[in-house]
Structure 1
Amino acid sequence: MGWLCVFFSGAVLADGGVGAVRRQVQASMLVTGSIVVAQDGSVDSYTLDKQDKLPPLVLEVISKTVPHWSFAIDVADFQEYMRISQAKLLKTTMNLRVLAVAADSQQYSVSISKASFGEDASAEGKASSDRLTGKSLAAPRYPSKSLHDGVGGTVYVEVRIGRDGRVEDQVARQVNLHVIATESSMAIFRKDLANAAVEAARHWKFNPPTSGREAGLQHWYALIPVNFCPDVRCAQEAYGKWVGYVPGPNTPAPWHDDPGALAENSDAMPAGVAFQPDRRLKLLTSLDNS
């Protein structure tokens, strides 16, 4: 399982008061792929990226879970998709956060804890007329305090984009840290990384869609995971490997049409991707027993 190989980008920063934080540590991996859904909301098929790099147990859990999912379908959007694509099935990107939790000293429980479905809007310079794409997404400056203390993590920034392609509102939905410290220190580091990511997001620009149903909207939403890595040990989440982190609380965006949107699945997507949720689909199946 590689549980003992869970790593952090920094050392334990304090000796006292970290017991509660240690108990929050999760070992997980992000699995990406695609899913094909029928008009009745059932799963027709799915594919996984780099399947040969995934542990057999992870493949088994996914194979016993995903085919039995059920989705709520936006019929109007589905019909528009079929009219344009001439397809009878809906295909979209799928991201799964697979979680490993110690059941006892020798056994682990592995499950799909989060799932997200949508498109990557971060491909700068590759404008698409029928969906949101990135135009200018400059990386944030690494905050000096976190860099000095060797603190790394991922900030999930949600943005609302206006018709001119500029960011109208932004919020750090969640900050996951690769370090163990006291609760008070963890809060300081989360705020430090969040402020840097949010400041960068204010200057991002996108290409709004100019055709299709999306073109008539007044604004669009995207969720962008921003990685902060103080050294090469956390440069990238190695695909198919277990990674340790301390998940942060999730903060809903007060300006979102649906404030609870993405609240449960904000960390089920790759870092560096401007994720636009697929509003045609909503997973109805609970992941609690996956």
Structure 2
Amino acid sequence: MKYGMPGLLCMMLAGVALAAGPRAASEQMQASMLVRGSITVAADGSVKSYLVDHPEQLPREVVNLIARNVPKWRFEPVARAGQPVIAQAAMDLRVVAKPLGNDEFALSVAGTNFGRPSSHAAADSPPISYKRRPPPAYPALAANARAWGTVYLLLAIDHVGRVQHVDAEQVNLGVVGGDREMGRWRHALAQAAVSAARDWTFNVPAPASGATSPHWLVRVPVAFTFASGAEPRYGVWHRYLPGPRVMPAWAGKLDSGDSADAVGAGSISAVGEGLRRAKPFEGA
């Protein structure tokens, strides 16, 4: 859907590295916001209802986009004691505005992340939480270039809360430069986040009876920014240049359908425990 939002282009271009030039910036840079809320799914997998947090703080175009799309979604039914039940879960939506020219933008829901359903058996155990999380150092290469962004980590956590494996699944930037520059920035931010995460520890639930997996898989965002706070305030567009998604070999094949960069700041998203879409998500 096309929308005219004159002020948005100025915001996007404000974060562009000078070497890239305005044309390169307008072709690459997008704007994005993360919308948080909850969703209730009926026993047959249809959407029974949904809520977005603080809709009054969101642009009207974003509220309308969500209203047109979310009610049409279908999910795999959630079972309890072998019977399909109504289930509620947290919902994060990555909304993206892509420039079309002439101050027009195409809005879409580019990514989703759903929490553990309230009626799922796993809901009886506490979620994974941080025990010790020393922050990463800002890499000098990125800091000297005033490059900032968010690294989305994929971690394997063992049954005593230690990190077994960790890799950067995706690195999104908030500034534009040449291809080689951006590659170096992404690599530097990813290495800093991965290095710090190796020393993290977590509070983990007791293994379920009959569990065979040697670890839990979780996604965690790590924001590198020069501003106070890890994310702009809720409902505000921010510059967005998504990086390629790279799945580490140790993770195997993941079919949860969640998006790596739809996990909110400070959150821990357990892979495979959330609501599942009936069909793979392809944007909306």
Band of TM-score, shorter chain: 0.7 to 0.9
| SS of residue matched to 1:198 | helix
Q: Distance in 2 between matches of 1:68 and 1:96?
A: 15
Please list the CA deviations of residues 18-52 of structure 1 after superposition, one character each: whole Å capped at 9, or x if unmatched. 85565221111110011111222111111111111
Please list the CA deviations of residues 193-213 of structure 1 after superposition, one character each: whole Å capped at 9, or x if unmatched. 000000011011112212656
Normalized against structure 1, the TM-score is what? 0.83
2:102 is equivalent to residue 105 of structure 1: yes
| Amino-acid identity (%) | 36
What corresponds to 1:27 in structure 2? Answer: 31
| SS of residue matched to 1:267 | helix
The count of aligned residue pairs is: 272
CA contact under 8 A between 1:8 and 1:178: conserved in structure 2? no
Q: Distance in 2 between matches of 1:272 and 1:130?
A: 17
Deviation at 1:66, TM superposition (A): 0.5
Seen in structure 2, the aligned counterparts of structure 1 residues 88 and 246 have a Cα distance that, compared at 3 Å, is same
What corresponds to 1:139 in structure 2? Answer: 135
Seen in structure 2, the aligned counterparts of structure 1 residues 65 and 286 have a Cα distance that, compared at 3 Å, is farther
RMSD: 2.8
2:8 is equivalent to residue 3 of structure 1: yes
2:187 is equivalent to residue 182 of structure 1: no
2:232 is equivalent to residue 237 of structure 1: yes
Q: Distance in 1 between matches of 2:237 and 2:209?
A: 39
Seen in structure 2, the aligned counterparts of structure 1 residues 7 and 104 have a Cα distance that, compared at 3 Å, is closer
Deviation at 1:118, TM superposition (A): 1.8
Gaps of 5+ in 2: 117-123
Seen in structure 2, the aligned counterparts of structure 1 residues 90 and 147 have a Cα distance that, compared at 3 Å, is same
2:48 is equivalent to residue 44 of structure 1: yes
| Alignment equivalent of 1:150, drawn from 142, 146, 150 | 146
What corresponds to 1:72 in structure 2? Answer: 76
Q: What amino acid does structure 1 have at the position aligned with 2:239?
A: G
Q: Distance in 2 between matches of 1:80 and 1:261?
A: 22
Q: Distance in 1 between matches of 2:14 and 2:159?
A: 39
What corresponds to 1:222 in structure 2? Answer: 218
Q: What amino acid does structure 2 have at the position aligned with 1:36?
A: T
What corresponds to 1:123 in structure 2? Answer: none
2:281 is equivalent to residue 277 of structure 1: no
Report which structure shows greater RCO (CA 8 Å, sep ≥6).
Answer: 1
Please list the CA deviations of residues 153-212 of structure 1 after superposition, one character each: whole Å capped at 9, or x if unmatched. 000011001112100000101111111111001000100000000001101111221265
| Alignment equivalent of 2:17, drawn from 12, 21, 24 | 12
CA contact under 8 A between 2:27 and 2:99: conserved in structure 1? no
| Alignment equivalent of 1:58, drawn from 62, 65, 68 | 62
Deviation at 1:13, TM superposition (A): 4.7
Gaps of 5+ in 1: 120-127
CA contact under 8 A between 1:131 and 1:214: conserved in structure 2? no
Please list the CA deviations of residues 49-96 of structure 1 after superposition, one character each: whole Å capped at 9, or x if unmatched. 1111011111111111111100123x5xx31598xxxx9421111000
What corresponds to 2:121 in structure 1? Answer: none
CA contact under 8 A between 1:70 and 1:284: conserved in structure 2? yes
Q: Distance in 2 between matches of 1:222 and 1:9?
A: 34
